[in-house]
A and B are shown apart, each in its own frame.
Chain A
Amino acid sequence: MSWETVIGLEVHAQLSTKSKIFSGSPTAYGAPPNSQASLVDLAYPGVLPVLNMEAVRMAVKFGLATGASVAPRSVFARKNYFYPDLPKGYQISQYELPVVAGGHLDIVLDDGTKKRVGITRAHLEEDAGKSLHEGLPKQSGIDLNRAGTPLIEIVSEPDMRSAREAVAYLKKVHTLVRYLEICDGNMQEGSFRCDANVSVRRAGAEKFGTRAEIKNINSFRFVEKAINFEVARQIDVIESGGKVVQETRLYDPDKGETRSMRSKEEANDYRYFPDPDLLPVELDAAMIDGVRATLPELPDQKAARFVATLGLSEYDAGVLTSSKELAAYYEEVAKLLAGGPDLANNTPSKDLAKLAANWVAGSLAAALNEHNLEITESRIDAQRLAGLLARIVDNTISGKIAKDVFEAMWAEGKDADAIIESKGLKQITDTGAIEKAIDEVMAKNPGQLADYRSGKDKLFGFFVGQVMKATGGKANPAQLNELLKKKLAG
């Protein structure tokens, strides 16, 4: 019996406004506890919320970037429940009338095909504070610095069919909010987090299975692990004759498992109702158009441009546009290689674009990954990488030697020319020198030579290797190939 997984995600993205959504307090992370909590954040008697319109603009930006409709009138509602880090006893959120509804994002599946994931809605709400337990035996501390930080909750349709798809979607959202500069995407600090609604059903079944909601997963890796664990658990429950119950579960990254937090019966009745302290948010076309004018080139648009004008593969284009900074880095390398300051007017040849793409998405990405660095922290800047690639293009070094030069650049922080010079890595392009090396290799290996000449073509590689070895890898590969063919032919 085969099973189908059904996943929908709720992403909470903290908006990068300077002040909170309903008070003037700053939103900076990491300040001493309660140093960024005003009387409004502390829910003192008599205080009132005032909406920060910048948060609304950011939500509208997200809506426009996902092809959603922006509501001309949206309403804040109160979600009522008691918790110490929720000072008012209710969270101000949007319920029936969210600011954004009906968008979508396209993801690329493992087999290269595209899939569209629907976005049901994106609504504005305020974050809660934090309860602190460490170092407080038998007590709980409350830090309300985070209380009132603006969030958008992005709710997807249950369109994803595997943990991999869910991760691809989550990464897409992550990329987008950072492109839009509405969220810093920092998962460790909790500014980007996600809940996953997971259910399974028999392949071909129309009705969804009963879902479990996995709360507060804070890394891409955990999303995949948590979903896979949960799917296996649910299948196991059903196959051993049980029923999946609707509940909220928590993912424990240490044990790699999800466990029950509360069942549907224990769930709060949030008693949502429109917040009488806030007027409905009314947005006119001029406001929405104003926000539209601030939209940057979006990741999908940029990737399409890379494919159309630079001739990159969709895969490369997707990788290189996965962050705005990476794309900018790549474009700079390509521009410098082409020799002009403006890529639009000075498009590099497709070969150069491809060369730059291979290096940025290949060696550079690997090095960054290995050292756990962001592109903005790269030890080799775009200028230097372009300098290295220029030496490949002008045949000063081979691609293979270039890898060694790259490593030395990374380690020593010098530019390519200095390393090529100091290590004597300049490619041998002198025909005479290469011919001399070939002659010596042929003289040393009479047996192999005879075999080759009697038809063992495969031995060509052997001779290439020997000559490269003799020249310290510096022989120009194309020249070597040509000369070697001639000489071996006799």
Chain B
Amino acid sequence: MHTFTLAELAKKLRAKEFSVTEITKSLLGRIEASQSKLNAFVTVTADSALAQAQAADAALASGKAGPLTGLPLAHKDIFCTRGVKTSCGSRMLDNFVSPYDATVVEKLNAAGMVTLGKTNMDEFAMGSSNETSYYGPVKNPWDLSLVPGGSSGGSAAAVAARVSPIATATDTGGSIRQPASLCGVTGIKPTYGRVSRYGMIAFASSLDQGGLISQSAEDAAMVLGAMAGFDPRDSTSVDTPVPDYLGTLNAPLAGLKIGLIKEFFDKGLDANVEKLIREALKVYEKLGATLVDVKLPALPLSVPTYYVVAPAECSSNLARFDGVRYGYRCKDPKDLVDLYKRSRGEGFGAEVKRRIMVGTYVLSAGYFDAYYLKAQRVRQLINQDFRRAFDEVDVLIGPTAPDVAFAIGAKMSDPIQMYLNDIYTIGANLAGVPAISIPCGFVRGLPVGLQIAGAHFAEGKLLNVAHMYQKETDWHRQMPAAFKPEKLS
């Protein structure tokens, strides 16, 4: 029973085929059994999960249940959870127990969902392989010697291995979509401002967006509706109504105009990956969609633009971790400067420190115009490219990542190679548009993701386009053999 999608679970729970407590216990068992292989979790909240499960069972029995009551999930360890360690994958916050719930956590708790635990991630969401976590790398369930992608590697691995039916995640430059692609699951990054950032530990505030990693677009649609919406505590969240994502899931695709970003079908894209993308496009043509080539001339500048904007914001956002009020504090500081230097020097890992230094540099007097300001101008151009494209087409479709999962350790010594993993995903963050990655086949037994991007607040359209594909194919139903119920329980 452990491998059901969220939608199936919801039906079966309501048909009383099993109780919330039973499914919760079963998943907690699978998490425990998988942990030594995957390292997908930083914290498992078994006691509170069982208490939530009991409450959900009571609600279901008394007819007071909502559509999400009793459905289990895991939260990326970047979301603050009251009374529970919220580490953000860092030694800096290894001792940090949040005194409050993030808005996303609060909303999903209120909807009656059961939190199984907190998933592992790249430190402060900085990484594309989950190797920068203080808690060690997460492994790819399809091949334990490979990375799951990052930064939401724990959430992607947990869903791929079916130890959690769905998980929250965040995406600053591809951190939902790239691991979803590498783990063969569905990952949606909503429009910037669609989901509240309150309580989501900031990496780069103008790019960060919370979303979901799930087994299917339908599952994502079920939860996104409860997660999204204006939050008075987040000034950048947008006060626009949340549509009924489930209601539009099955809208026919006849007449859909799909744009193919010319710049993405270029050298750098693995030929086998490209082949699968082209095959997926044929499925859409069969469903009545037409394909159009579009040009986004500024888009190839997105990686360098991102690696100015994101570090700049992170250098400032992470200044609060100073060893004074919470988090890691060095032993026996000599004086204030020593307290700062050693607490930060010992509390942060290498990649975080690299980005803080880059960010500090690009904001410095004398460099600000050449880097930060110029990057902001390019960002405007990229934004305009997307807006122009969406005047012509309904969605943009292409690859999520240039290749399948790579070996643990393969790119750690070469940050540029690592950063290029996000070459196809970063544009959506810079422009603030929503994008989803769905599985579209396998290369050498490893999953490949198809990325679909839409105009601002077109999440409903993206989920619809993804769902119609998933009705035609079963790539998203594939799961890694080592985690099938008979192998892991």
Contacts and interface: CB of A to CB of B under 8 A. Distances in A.
A269 B197 contact: no
A89 B316 contact: yes
A84 B336 CA distance: 8
B35 interface: no
Interface string A60-87: 0000000000000000001010101001
A42 interface: yes
Contact of B200 (A46, A272, A273): A46
Interface in B86-117: 86, 88, 93, 96, 98-100, 102
A229 interface: no
A42 B322 CA distance: 12
A142 interface: yes
B235 A276 contact: no
A342 B96 CA distance: 65
Contacts of B340: 82
Nearest to B202: A46
Interface string B337-365: 00010000000000000000000100111
Contacts of A273: 312, 316, 363, 368, 372
Interface string B287-321: 00000000000000000000000001101101111
A88 B320 contact: yes
Contacts of A46: 79-80, 86, 98, 102, 197-202
A269 B236 contact: no
Given A48-B235, A271-B364, A279-B235, A90 B205 contact: no
B422 to A, nearest CB: 19
Contacts of A278: 235-236
Contacts of B316: 78, 80, 89-90, 271, 273
Contacts of A277: 202, 205, 235-236
Contacts of A90: 316, 319
Contacts of B313: 276
B198 A44 contact: no
A450 interface: no
A45 B340 CA distance: 17
Contacts of A142: 324
Given A51-B235, A277-B236, A278-B235, A45 B319 contact: no
B232 interface: yes
A279 B236 contact: yes
Contacts of A271: 315-316, 360, 363-365, 368
B325 A42 contact: yes
A80 B201 contact: no
Contact of A45 (B96, B204, B324): B96
Contacts of B206: 276
Interface in B208-241: 232-236
Contact of B99 (A39, A80, A87): A39
B326 interface: yes
A54 to B, nearest CB: 16
A472 B376 CA distance: 86
Contacts of B102: 46
A45 B235 contact: no
B483 to A, nearest CB: 32
A90 B363 CA distance: 13
A48 B193 CA distance: 13
A478 interface: no
Contacts of B204: 276
A78 B322 CA distance: 17
B198 A45 contact: no
Contact of B236 (A45, A82, A272, A276): A276
A294 to B, nearest CB: 25
Contact of B319 (A89, A140, A279): A89
B320 A87 contact: yes
A82 B319 contact: yes
A47 B99 CA distance: 11
A45 B98 contact: yes
A287 interface: no
Contacts of B325: 42-44, 87
A43 B317 CA distance: 10
Nearest to A24: B233
Interface in B173-206: 197-202, 204-206
A276 B368 CA distance: 16
Nearest to B79: A46
Query: Which of A87, A90, A140, A277 counts the most chain B CB atoms within 10 A?
Result: A277
A51 B363 CA distance: 24
A381 B209 CA distance: 62
A142 B336 CA distance: 13
A245 interface: no
Contacts of B80: 44-46
A47 B340 CA distance: 21
Given A89-B320, A90-B316, A48 B365 contact: no
A311 interface: no
A190 interface: no
B232 A50 contact: yes
A45 B365 CA distance: 28
Contacts of A47: 198-199
Contacts of B100: 39, 44
A415 B326 CA distance: 62
A279 B230 CA distance: 14
A42 B235 CA distance: 19
A80 B368 CA distance: 14
A409 to B, nearest CB: 56
A410 to B, nearest CB: 52
Nearest to A85: B324
A387 interface: no
A253 interface: no
B205 A276 contact: yes
A82 to B, nearest CB: 6
A49 interface: yes
Given A271-B360, A271-B364, A49 B322 contact: no
A82 B341 CA distance: 11
Interface in A76-113: 78, 80, 82, 84, 87-90
B319 A80 contact: yes
A486 to B, nearest CB: 85
Contacts of B365: 269, 271
Interface string A206-240: 00000000000000000000000000000000000
A274 to B, nearest CB: 9
Contacts of A44: 80, 98-100, 325-326
B235 A82 contact: no
Contact of A82 (B234, B312, B322, B372): B322
B201 A45 contact: yes
Nearest to A76: B235
A277 B232 CA distance: 13
B236 to A, nearest CB: 7
Nearest to B318: A89
Nearest to B100: A39
Interface string B118-150: 000000000000000000000000000000000
B412 to A, nearest CB: 26
Contacts of A49: 235
Contacts of B312: 273
A99 B181 CA distance: 46
Contacts of A272: 363
A44 B197 CA distance: 14
Contacts of A48: 197-198, 233-236
Contacts of A51: 235
Contacts of B198: 46-48
Nearest to B326: A44
Given A39-B100, A80-B363, A277-B205, A45 B86 contact: yes
7 contacts: A46-B197, A46-B202, A90-B319, A271-B363, A271-B364, A277-B205, A279-B235
Given A44-B98, A45-B80, 11 more contacts: A44-B80, A45-B320, A46-B200, A48-B198, A80-B316, A84-B324, A88-B320, A89-B322, A140-B336, A142-B324, A277-B236
What are the 3 A-B residue pairs with the smallest beta carbon separation, nearest first? A89-B319, A271-B363, A276-B206
